[in-house]
Structure 1
């Protein structure tokens, strides 16, 4: 499965009834709730990364990717736009790229 495949699954589930789809229910709560859920999943992944539990980290990482795509969907931001930004950054050192953003 690719991220593009997962993005298509999120899009299909977004069209379902909120009574029948977790994704549709989450999207119906708005972009802020979607972002909050993504943050919760990211924190859970961080905890498992620190603990070193590979199996639990794998599950949490899957949750992070899924909820990342739900968050993008909530703001109508295609994954392709994110991938284009990553491609634009190719060829620059990470340090130079970060400095260009002021971070």
Structure 2
């Protein structure tokens, strides 16, 4: 079975987590820890918003790729697999409605 780019990215990030290589940005993020990873996710979210408002499609795609990369690093840091996310997406696609009343409130932050 052929892997998609998201799976390849996730596996590469997991490999860098388990086998850090000198000079690897991914290994650097894991070395710095969760606070650094979260900071980068936040920065990239903001850059996606800015690119959406007043930059080209190419700029937006680049920023979205950065965000997906950093989200994937966060997934690896927190032990969330692609299969976990895919299962949640599959569960959501089975819903007959999309009311926000079902969402659990975020209480710990």
Of structures 1 and 2, the one scoring higher in RCO (CA 8 A, sep 6+) is 2
Bucket of the pairwise TM-score, normalised by the shorter protein: 0.7 to 0.9
When normalised by structure 1's length, the TM-score is 0.86
Q: Secondary structure at the match of 1:77?
A: coil
CA offsets per residue over residues 6-63 of structure 1, 9 Å max, x none?
A: 101111222223x321000101111222111111111101100111411111111110
What is the correspondence of 1:37-76 to structure 2 with a 5 Å cutoff? 37-76=40-79
CA separation of 1:94 and 1:65: change in aligned 2, threshold 3 A: farther
CA offsets per residue over residues 39-92 of structure 1, 9 Å max, x none?
A: 111110110011141111111111011111001111111121111111111122
Match status 1:85 vs 2:88: yes
* Aligned mates of 2:97, 2:16 — CA distance in 1: 36
| Runs of 4+ residues deviating >4 angstroms | none
